[in-house]
Structure 1
Amino acid sequence: MNQQAGVPAHRPDRTVIAAVSIMVAGIGGFLALVMVAAANPPYAFDTRLLLALRKAGHPDMPVGPHWLQLAMLDISSLASTTVLFLMMMALFAYLLAARRPRAALFVLLTLGGGQLLLSLLKLAVDRPRPEIVSHLVEVLTLSFPSGHAMGAALTYGTLAALACRFAPGRASRICLWAVAVLATLLVGISRVYLGVHWPSDVLAGWCAGAAWAAACWLALGRRLSA
């Protein structure tokens, strides 16, 4: 055995440690937020933040200029079911064409499985949409967790993780993750601004999306190059 003195036989993989930490923190945060969602009446911070984004005494009028409302609608659409489905299928098809079947399977299970998990979580918690402010966009599903927030965390996080495998250096990887995190944050904020989610719905969506993405990477992502 040619092991130098003072050098450990095995160094823990930092990415594995990070993924496990994200998964544990995400699950813990989500479970804590389930208790918030079950509260009746809603917690004060949920109500306070929703009303803070509307003009005083006018719950049907969002703060800011009209272009801000249009911008929030556009940002929200970045994580709509249609957009995320098209992104998933385009990435899946590309990876198959590039002869990367394991990566294609990883994308399909992570993103497709995440949507199935989202539906189950919504049914399990069964939280209605907020009614203290008007909805600036039509919604038909239950409120908790936010599907847009969870879908953004899953999709943009997965895209960043795959793109980082081909990034030329640390700076480019940081840039990729910064863009993914920024897009995820903006999507969640837009859902609260539009009045269709309690803030805790969005926080829960981020937690669930990050935890599921980390779990899928631990199960499948590390073996993509094997």
Structure 2
Amino acid sequence: MASIGARLRELAPAGHRRWREFNWSQFVVLAAVCVCAGGLFAFARIMDEVAEGETHGFDQAILLALRNPADRADPIGPLWLEIMMRDYTSLGSHAVLGLMGVLAFGYLMLVRKHLSAGMLVVSFAGGMALNSLLKFGFARPRPDLVAHLVEVHTASFPSGHAMLSAVCYLTLGALLAGVAPARRYKTYILATAIGLTLLVGASRIYLGVHWPTDVLAGWCLGAAWAMACWLVVRGGVLWMQRRADRAGAGQGVPPPGPPPG
């Protein structure tokens, strides 16, 4: 069956193949726009509810559900789960994310992806600055309902680990998926980026250092910021490709095929 499918694809007209690639590309851009707009809308709603104090019951119920009713300093589950969550939460720390950002920036510069490298810096630095400003503006206290299982020193809303892990992993995932040779690789990369983001945020709630709405807000805003930066990079790449196509057409050089989806 696989050979028959491959043969049919070879026999398909070139225009039909380009149409399918175009539609897939447009779908990806539309999905990114929806994530960006939806993330901003959801963040605004959560922010409004938190400011009015209407999420307190929800936050308390989640935190208490993750602790031993007889001892709020004891999280549910075996000891190895607590140890794993302590390790997982470090994947969203400034040190780890900053190191990953520096390594990714160096690679992008080596392969001469200067626009992507520049937007990576803007994405990371802008996300950190935005998170710090929001924490300072809201100054929401950390949960005092349960014991903190790791040390914390900043305000609670929005979760820096959740937001910055979304910025880091989703930005890197989008950039890597853009150069992956097949859709199954793109899907794997994006699923891994989303999984890491969710894991870091969930660990903050389990460890008792964030209200659940802090993490939800961080995920929403981080995803929106990451997709906005990716859309800017994609727009810049397409603009440069079209500029090169026009220059090549003026010199009688045939334009290249469509960019990968």
Same fold (TM over 0.5): yes
Matched, 1:112 2:135: no
**Shift of the alpha carbon at 1:138?**
0.3
Give the conservation status (yes or no) of the 8 Å contact 2:170–2:190: yes
- Equivalence map 1:11-50=2 (5 Å): 13-40=26-53, 42-50=55-63
In 1, Cα distance between the equivalents of 2:34 and 2:201? 22
Unaligned runs of 5+ in 2: 1-18, 241-261
- 2:140 aligns with one of 127, 142, 150: 127
Give 1:120 shift.
1.1
* 1:62-104 superposed Cα distances (whole Å, 9 cap, x missing partner): 1111110110011100110100011111111121122221111
Distance (whole Å) between structure 2 residues aligned to residue 102 and residue 42 of structure 1: 41
Structure number with higher helix proportion: 2
The residue that corresponds to 1:210 in the other structure is 223
Contact 2:175–2:230, Cα closer than 8 Å, also in 1: no
CA contact (8 A) 1:106 1:221 kept: no
Displacement after TM superposition at 1:122 (Å): 1.1
2:236 to 194, 203, 223: 223
How many angstroms apart in 2 are the aligned matches of 1:86 and 1:127? Answer: 28
The aligned residue for residue 76 of structure 2 is 63
Match of 2:115 in 1: 102
How far residue 38 of structure 1 moved from its aligned partner, in angstroms, is 1.9
Pick from 149, 156, 163 the counterpart of residue 150 of structure 1.
163
Q: Secondary structure at the match of 1:78?
A: helix
Residues 161-214 of structure 1 deviation map (CA, whole Å, 9 limit, x = unaligned): 111122121111111111111111111110000000000000000000011111
Which structure ranks higher in relative contact order (CA pairs < 8 Å, sequence separation ≥ 6)? Answer: 1
Q: Partner residue of 2:10?
A: none
Cα separation, 2, equivalents of 1:124 and 1:97: 39
Q: Which piece of structure 1 moves more, 89-98 or 144-153?
A: 89-98
Maintained 8 Å contact 2:171/2:227: no
Where do 4+ consecutive residues of structure 1 move more than 4 Å? none
**Deviation per residue, 1:103-128 (Å, 9 max, x gap):** 11011011111111111111122211
The SS at the match of 1:220 is: helix
Contact 2:156 2:210 in 1 (8 A): yes
Asked whether the 8 Å contact 1:36–1:200 carries over to 2, the reply is no
Contact 1:153 1:184 in 2 (8 A): yes
Q: CA deviation at 1:42?
A: 4.9
Between structure 1 and structure 2, the one with the greater Rg is 2
Query: Which of residues 186, 190, 199 in structure 1 aligns to 2:199?
Result: 186
Aligned equivalent of 1:201, options 197, 201, 214: 214
CA–CA separation in structure 2 for the residues paired with 1:52 and 1:104: 43
| Corresponding residue to 1:93 among 99, 106, 112 | 106
Correspondence for 1:170 among 176, 179, 183:
183
**Which SS does the other structure have where 2:74 is aligned?**
strand
- State which drifts further: 168-177 or 192-201: 168-177
Residues 36 and 43 in structure 1, CA contact (< 8 A), matched pair in contact too: no
Q: Aligned-pair distance for 1:41?
A: 7.4
